[in-house]
Amino acid sequence: MAQINPSILSADFARLADEAEAVDGADWLHVDVMDNHFVPNLTLGVPIVESLSRATATPLDCHLMIEDPDRWAPQYVEAGAGSVTFHVEAAAAPVRLAREIRAKGARASMALKPATPIEPFEDLLPELDMLLVMTVEPGFGGQAFLDIMLPKIRRTRELIAKHGLELWLQVDGGVSESTIERCAEAGADVFVAGSAVYGAADPAAAVAALRAKADA
Ligand code: DX5
Ligand code: ZN
């Protein structure tokens, strides 16, 4: 069963609680944290995650596009995130960090930028609850889906199967009604969508339409 995680990066930041309600049926709310160092954009931090987690019953999937996630990721668990994703390119000690996130009670997830291969990290997979394969360069919503990431999604799914793991495989960037089937076919099962959901006239209907295509 596909999970659909609307990204609030494309929502109205002044009305986040309402925007969370607008995607009734979503599995998780995807929260993009950017620090203007790891990526050339700046969004939100711990206090907003704390408030949002109190304002919605939908669990929060925090995607940290920041330097020094070793220091910050545990604070997002304490702020109420149910899942915390750090970038392997930024983590000093990814195994220690994944263990710390899990020990604090959240799902631990690791993200790969488009140019980062999965193979060097095969042995880390058992430490994770989810792996995120970015399908755009992180930093902005509304970018075009990178088809060249499909083989990486497929290889990652094969590695997960080879080790008999339960881990979820998330894709993020350019996911829409026209690209989600390709991602699902390649082995993704958790789909982040920003502009395809919040850019739609009816965001909840957009979530349902994405889910129908992913599960087809
Ligand atoms: C981009 C973010 C994404 C972004 C996706 O760096 O990680 O979560 O919101 O936006 P769309 O779905 O519009 O590509
Ligand atoms: Zn994201």
> What pLDDT digit, counting tens, does each position of 32-47 carry?
999 999 999 999 999 9
**pLDDT for res 196:** 98
How many independent structural domains does the chain possess? 1
What is the span of the domain harbouring residue 111? Answer: 3-215
| Those residues with Cβ within 8 angstroms of residue 48's Cβ, 6 or more apart along the chain or in another chain | 16
Query: What number does the ligand 1 atom closest to the CA of 174 have?
Result: 14
Catalytic entry in 32, 35, 61, 189 = 32
Query: What number does the ligand 1 atom closest to the CA of 137 have?
Result: 6
CATH number of the domain within which 197 lies = 3.20.20.70
Q: Which residue has the tokens 């009816």?
A: 202
Known catalytic residue at 32: yes
Query: What SS3 class is residue 6?
Result: strand
For the beta carbon of residue 140, count every other beta carbon within 10 angstroms.
Answer: 16
pTM, entire model: 0.98
| Ligand 1 pocket member 193 (CB < 6 A) | yes
| Ligand 1 pocket member 141 (CB < 6 A) | yes
Q: How remote is the CA of residue 59 from the centroid of ligand 2, in Å? A: 15
Query: What SS3 class is residue 76?
Result: helix
Residue among 4, 5, 7, 87 whose CB has most ligand 1 atoms within 8 A, to mutate = 7
**C-beta separation of 60 from 26 below 8 A:** no
Q: How many CA atoms lie within 13 A of 8 on its CB side?
A: 33
Query: What SS3 class is residue 31?
Result: strand
Confidence of residue 164 (pLDDT cuts 50, 70, 90): very high
For the chain, the average pLDDT equals: 98
